[in-house]
Amino acid sequence: MKFLDLARVYIRSGGGGAGCVSFRREKFVEFGGPDGGDGGNGGNVWAEAVEGLNTLIDYRYQQHFFAKSGQPGMGSQKTGKTADDVVLKVPLGTEILDEDEETVIADLVNPGDRVLLARGGNGGWGNLRFKSSTNRAPARANPGQDGVERTIWLRLKLIADAGLVGLPNAGKSTFLAAVSNARPKIADYPFTTLVPNLGVVGVDGHEFVMADIPGLIEGASEGRGLGTQFLAHVERCKVLLHLVDGTSSTITADYRTIVTELEAYSDVLGDKPRILALNKTDAMDAKQISDRRRALEKASGGTVHVISGVSGKGLTDVLRVLYARINPPEEKVTEGQPWQP
């Protein structure tokens, strides 16, 4: 299944049915009077978040969704039938944007979340509605209201607990394959990953979802490479795992490149908690590991985890740190001790 995270959709709700002008025509009834019924309401257009979807590819091949109009009213006080609603099924984490691609109409995160995108027109009144003491035989009825037509954008932001970031060929796909059942494409050249991948990671009996996005390069926040196209998919993550290729001779510059691009993209990503890991240590000797780890710690001012996606070295420890950030343990307050915020 192809991955698509942005789609433009044209929608139109149904118009209301027209009211009916009718009079009773019965044998032995001298003054029948009006009996025209109201028209039915037009169909609405909804968007609903459902489980089991992780792409918007269906909306590449069908972009027009038009609800039907309500049925006109009929004689004998018969109201027209209301048209069926049209429901757009979208993956969890889909944002509904207005035509300007900036105004957020709704953010559908939980299963069953719904939003009304276009309300159907009301049905028109039949002439029975206009009967009064001074107008016993009204010969007028209202037309139904027109439907609403608009253009919207669907933008998918994958829902994951942790996100993998790093330069191309930093070993992100290898890491995801080593800690989950995901099978992303792995090769020894940059930009192997062209679309985000999701994997369910388990550690100490707990599970969380991890997202691997295509590698970032310098200038990604300005549109270079594939970075800006997929950085939105890690905005919802609670923590980021920043992988640095330990075999690179410019690891501090590599580290700063990713941090700069994250901060330039948005304040949300710039302020998000990050775990830093020195990867590919299976191809390094002890002195290289020690020197480059110290260099990264000096550049980042924090802890650097030493791991290898190929040999499995340090993977469990870094997964435990990630899970602790995703689900921080609750602090216990001793009885009688004042609580400190």
212 marked ligand binding residue:
yes
Closest C-alpha to 170, from 255, 234, 227: 255
Which two tokens mark 38?
């109201």
Which two tokens mark 292?
């480059």
214 marked ligand binding residue:
yes
89 marked ligand binding residue:
no
83 marked ligand binding residue:
no
103 marked ligand binding residue:
no
309 marked ligand binding residue:
yes
Q: Where are the alpha helices (DSSP H) in 35-156?
A: 58-61
132 marked ligand binding residue:
no
For β-strands 162-165 and 104-108, DSSP reports them as: unpaired
79 marked ligand binding residue:
no
282 marked ligand binding residue:
yes
173 marked ligand binding residue:
yes
172 marked ligand binding residue:
yes
38 marked ligand binding residue:
no
215 marked ligand binding residue:
yes
167 marked ligand binding residue:
yes
13 marked ligand binding residue:
no
310 marked ligand binding residue:
yes
Phi, psi dihedral angles at 154 (to 5 degrees): -105, 125
Q: Would you call 27 helix, strand, or coil by DSSP?
A: coil
Q: Where are the alpha helices (DSSP H) in the chain?
A: 58-61, 172-179, 227-230, 251-265, 267-270, 286-300, 315-326
213 marked ligand binding residue:
yes
Q: How far is CA 320 from CA 40, 203, 241, in A?
A: 59, 7, 12
280 marked ligand binding residue:
yes
Binding site: which residues? 166-173, 191-195, 212-215, 279-282, 308-310
Binding site for Mg(2+): which residues? 173, 193
Binding site for GTP: which residues? 166-173, 191-195, 212-215, 279-282, 308-310
